[in-house]
Structure formats: structure tokens, C-alpha cells
Structure 1
């Protein structure tokens, strides 16, 4: 049986601010933003990813303290270009650093969302030629 990781709950204090940050500054696709009888839920997906983040006010989405999630990791084929894109959109990013290792995957930088949830961005040059998922159409299909 396959097990896939498809959603990570991201603890935030302000859903509108989180949606704006992840959609407009980081560039995630807003899959949906829904008000339900139990609360609000918004799902956002990084380009090329099979896993999304969810923010909202449903009781299951508010169990962690805002900003308490650390170590989420994104992978890009070019860390310098990715960092420049984020900085150009107003995201404060750490400097790029590389471990003393010449293998692909040793280059990183980090950033935090407005609540302090921490992300690492890893460069894997191989992703330029071998993405994990095929191209996605504009309508998400």
C-alpha cells in the first residue's frame, strides 16, 4: 500500500495574513479558501509539489501554537534564483549556506512566515531535469 503525505497543517494566528503571505510573497497556489460551519480552511500548494499546507480556524487546525512549526523543507533546483525571487517579493531570507560537501543537496537557505513558522529551502540541481511531479496545468489538473 502506498502512503502519501499530501497536507501539512500550518499553525497561524491570522488566516488572511497567512494566505496573503504564502500566495503573494512565497508564490504558493491557493487551492481553496472555504468557510464551513465549523470554521475556515484554506489550502495552498507550492508549484510542483504533491503536498499542500492548510491554515484555518477549524479546531483541528488550531491545536499547535502559531509559529511553532519548524523544519518544513522545500526543494528547488536553484537556491540563488529561489532566494532572489522570495526577496524580490519582500520575504526576509537567511543567507545561502552550503555544507562542506560537493554532492547535490548540500546548499540551503531559510525563511520564516509572519508567525515564525520556519522553512528550509534545499537546492537539488537534479530537480531541474527530474522533477518529482509532471507539469501542472493552470487549472490545477
Structure 2
């Protein structure tokens, strides 16, 4: 059977450098690639150390600009898992990440919703250990 991997997801942002500043400099993703494609376009990929990639795509035109921060209709768009909730939460807080609620315990683990500067919602989760 063939193996499929979801490797990259596009995230529309207002500006490449603002996306890099948040994802690399504030929450610690690696800048995997930043290639100039000409005509003001770049191929900008960031990734957490746990796998998966985000392609930061600069919004072009009114329709794409209107989608910034609302690509999932106001729902949490992304789920970032950590093996140390308190350490990650504290690091994000020191970096000025905007939390939309207080951390909470759920049946599946510790979780808090945060937002990137563009309005995209993320869950930071430390899953409960399997029993």
C-alpha cells in the first residue's frame, strides 16, 4: 500500500517577513526555505521541530486579503502538540504570543488556544499519555 504524508499547508499572511517574525522568532519554528520567485513573490516555508510545514503565502488581491486570519471561519485551524505544556506556554507568553483563554485540562490533555498576529487560531496541546 502506498504511504501518503500531508507535508505542507498554505497559510495566507499579509507579509512574508511578518510571518517569519512570528513563526520563527516568537514561537520557534525553523525557517526551512525563503526563496525569491520574482515579481514580489517568495517561497517561504517554516516548520516546527515535530514535523509538518507551513507555506507562508503573501495575500494577493482583495479575496486573499479578506481570508487572512479567517481561513477556517473562526475555528481553530492548527493543533500544535508539545511534550512540556508549561515550558512551551511560558516561552510563548514571554515572546508575546496572544492567548485567547486560560490553559485548561480536557480529557485528551492540557490545552490553550492562542492566535497568531493575523487572527489564525491554534491549539497548544500536551496530550495525555496513553494508558
Question: With structure 1 as the length reference, what TM-score do the two structures score?
Answer: 0.75
Is it true that 1:11 corresponds to 2:44 in the alignment?
A: no
Is it true that 1:113 corresponds to 2:116 in the alignment?
A: yes
Range 107-116 or range 65-74, more displaced: 65-74
Contact 1:11 1:64 in 2 (8 A): no
Contact 1:75 1:123 in 2 (8 A): yes
Is it true that 1:95 corresponds to 2:98 in the alignment?
A: no
Contact 1:22 1:28 in 2 (8 A): yes
Which runs of 5 or more residues in structure 1 are unaligned? 127-141
Which runs of 5 or more residues in structure 2 are unaligned? none
Is it true that 1:25 corresponds to 2:26 in the alignment?
A: yes
- May I ask how many residue pairs the two structures share in their alignment? 120
Is it true that 1:45 corresponds to 2:52 in the alignment?
A: no
> How far apart are the structure 1 equivalents of 2:103 and 2:87?
11
**More strand by proportion, 1 or 2?**
2
1:106, CA displacement in angstroms?
Answer: 2.3
From 67, 83, 108, the equivalent of 1:65 is: 67
Contact 1:108 1:121 in 2 (8 A): yes
> How far apart are the structure 1 equivalents of 2:8 and 2:29?
14
Pair 6,90 (structure 1): closer, same or farther in 2 beyond 3 Å: same
Q: Considering only aligned residues, what root-mean-square deviation do their CA atoms show, in Å? A: 2.2
> How far apart are the structure 1 equivalents of 2:58 and 2:77?
23
